[in-house]
């Protein structure tokens, strides 16, 4: 569905009259089967009534998303999990108490009330209670469980600001709730609680270590980018790609400068994402400077950084790999997908 005008509401001031008016209007649109983008603590989501085939189909059309890629269902309160799940296991209950509201999606058997387009025909559904007042308010106002993938065109970097949503979806959706930049910057961790031990299907804002501190040992799916039918979004198709090709560099600052120099000698316009200690020394035409290189900062800035490099301005983007476990693992998961697997490693042999 195309819209002549996509409504934009500001919801920065939580609880004031403008906030409540925007939430009520957006909630009514969701009830009517329209699509609304809203902020969460991870990325902006594109919401639709999870029970409506027509509304969910409109999400796939707006995003250009493959139909075999399931959607996460977002709820406003913990008890609303049973609007989508057949039952909540003891393990899932522990995770909900520890991390909800928050950046954790829990996969459970669904109760049969959702559109099959949400679950991609699977017997399970991913459910999340977001940690953002505007998200929970609009879901509550809608009166329905809300299926909400990231609010971007499929394959593009996920949106962490309302302007990113507008770049991809203006004229394709009914409205956008603008709550400013998101806090985490990466999508939620997805954990499958239908198997024993539970299995992490997508790394994200809640780390494996944090989860294991609550429920004990969990597995990590070795086929995060496999070809089997996915239970979780972000497992099958290329994601997060900027307009210009991204190449990851595993090596020293000198190695980075060598690769940038070689690229420029080939006549390519080069952009680079780097930390402030290397700013101005890369030799690239354009630099996006991260205030710090720690995983938390990179996660928060990553998608915005990738979107700043336009194909009309650069032919190649370089970025050094992010090391470390926990959130660093999640960041690298997104970066490798964004780069289409292109990683150059410095030869460190003496």
- Class of CATH domain 246-345: alpha beta
Residue 10 labelled as part of a binding site: no
Q: What percent of the chain has pLDDT over 90?
A: 84
Residue 297 labelled as part of a binding site: no
pLDDT for the residue 115: 97
- How far, in Å, CA of 194 to CA of 108, rounded? 6
What would the pLDDT profile of 107-151 be if each residue is shown by its tens digit? 999 999 999 999 999 999 999 999 999 999 999 999 999 999 999
Residue 74 labelled as part of a binding site: yes
215 pLDDT more than 80: yes
pLDDT for the residue 238: 54
Residue 240 labelled as part of a binding site: yes
What would the pLDDT profile of 152-187 be if each residue is shown by its tens digit? 999 999 999 999 999 999 999 999 999 999 999 999
What would the pLDDT profile of 259-294 be if each residue is shown by its tens digit? 999 999 999 999 999 998 889 999 999 999 998 889
With CA atoms as reference, report the closest residue to 193 among 112, 90, 276, 293.
Answer: 90
pLDDT bucket at 222, cuts 50 / 70 / 90: confident
230 pLDDT more than 60: no
pLDDT for the residue 348: 61
* Choice between 282 and 223, residue whose per-residue pLDDT is larger: 282
Domain ranges of the chain: 7-220, 246-345
* Residue 289 neighbours by CB distance under 10 Å: 16
Whole-structure pTM value: 0.92
Residue 239 labelled as part of a binding site: no
Residue 158 labelled as part of a binding site: yes
- b/e sequence 197-229, b meaning 16+ C-beta within 10 Å: ebbbbbbbbbbbebbeeebeebeebeebbeeee
15: alpha, beta or left, given left = phi > 0 and alpha = psi -120 to 50?
left
Assign a CATH topology to domain 7-220: DHBP synthase (3.90.870)
pLDDT bucket at 224, cuts 50 / 70 / 90: low
* C-beta separation of 302 from 331 below 8 A: yes
349 pLDDT more than 60: no
53 pLDDT more than 60: yes
33 pLDDT more than 90: yes
With CA atoms as reference, report the closest residue to 193 among 106, 74, 125, 119.
Answer: 106
What would the pLDDT profile of 90-106 be if each residue is shown by its tens digit? 999 999 999 999 999 99
- Mean pLDDT throughout 44-55? 98
* C-beta separation of 120 from 68 below 8 A: yes
- How far, in Å, CA of 280 to CA of 177, rounded? 37
Do the strands 286-290 and 270-275 form a parallel or antiparallel pair, or are they unpaired? parallel
Residue 194 labelled as part of a binding site: no
Residue 42 labelled as part of a binding site: yes
């Amino acid at each position: 569905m195309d819209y002549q005008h996509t409504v934009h509401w500001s919801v920065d001031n939580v609880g004031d009259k403008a906030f409540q008016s925007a939430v009520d209007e957006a909630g009514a649109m969701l009830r009517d089967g329209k699509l609304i983008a809203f902020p969460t603590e991870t990325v902006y989501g594109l919401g639709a009534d999870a029970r409506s085939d027509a509304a969910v189909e409109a999400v796939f059309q707006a995003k250009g998303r493959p139909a075999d890629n399931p959607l996460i269902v977002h709820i406003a309160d913990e008890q609303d999990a049973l609007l989508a799940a057949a039952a909540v296991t003891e393990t899932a209950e522990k995770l909900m108490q520890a991390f909800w509201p928050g950046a954790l999606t829990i996969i459970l058997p669904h109760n049969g009330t959702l559109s099959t387009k949400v679950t991609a025909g699977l017997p399970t559904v991913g459910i999340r209670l977001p940690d953002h007042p505007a998200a929970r308010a609009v879901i509550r106002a809608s009166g329905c469980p809300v299926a909400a993938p990231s609010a971007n065109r499929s394959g593009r970097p996920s949106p962490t600001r309302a302007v990113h949503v507008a770049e991809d979806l203006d004229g394709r959706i009914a409205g956008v709730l603008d709550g400013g930049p998101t806090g985490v910057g990466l999508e939620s961790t997805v954990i499958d609680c239908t198997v024993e031990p539970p299995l992490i299907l997508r790394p994200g804002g809640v780390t494996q270590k944090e989860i294991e501190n609550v429920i004990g040992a969990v597995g990590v799916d070795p086929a995060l980018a496999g070809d089997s039918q996915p239970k979780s979004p972000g497992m099958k198709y290329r994601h997060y790609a900027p307009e210009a090709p991204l190449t990851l560099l595993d090596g020293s600052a000198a190695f980075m400068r060598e690769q940038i120099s070689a690229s420029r000698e080939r006549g390519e316009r080069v952009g680079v994402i780097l930390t402030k200690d290397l700013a101005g020394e890369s030799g690239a035409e354009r630099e996006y400077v991260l205030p710090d290189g720690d995983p938390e900062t990179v996660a928060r800035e990553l998608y915005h950084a990738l979107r700043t490099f336009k194909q009309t301005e650069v032919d190649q983007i370089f970025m050094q790999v992010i090391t470390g476990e926990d959130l660093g693992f999640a960041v690298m998961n997104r970066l490798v997908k964004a780069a289409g697997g292109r990683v150059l490693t410095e030869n460190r042999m003496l």
